[in-house]
Amino acid sequence: MAATRYRRFLKLCEEWPVEETKRQRDLGIADPETCDRMYESLMRIHTNYYKNKYPRLKDTNFTGVTVEDCKMILATDVLKQMEDMKKGTWKKLREKFYAKKPEEDSK
């Protein structure tokens, strides 16, 4: 049964478009029932089930943000920049001057 689920997920992942802006964010599921529900949900997203069922008049939401804006905001690089902005000045300075890479220590 687990092998069948795994093959189904692999097939879906092969069809799922790669989004370079969202590196290193994956799913990890242990419970078989949750796995099945997640698979069905992902399949509905992948096949645009709700997009086709409920067509939209405009490509924006109530805030006026477009799909392109949402993709840019959710990109890994932008999220990293936002995390860096949250750091305090002292923490930034400490990381800049005291964080050494292992290869620098061996020189």
Contact indicator for 104, 49 with CB cutoff of 8 Å: no
The tokens describing 27, both together, are 């799913």
Instruction: Please report the pLDDT score of residue 53 as a whole number.
Output: 95
The model's pTM = 0.45
pLDDT in tens, 38-84: 889 989 999 999 989 998 887 777 788 888 888 888 888 888 888 87
Instruction: Please report the pLDDT score of residue 44 as a whole number.
Output: 94
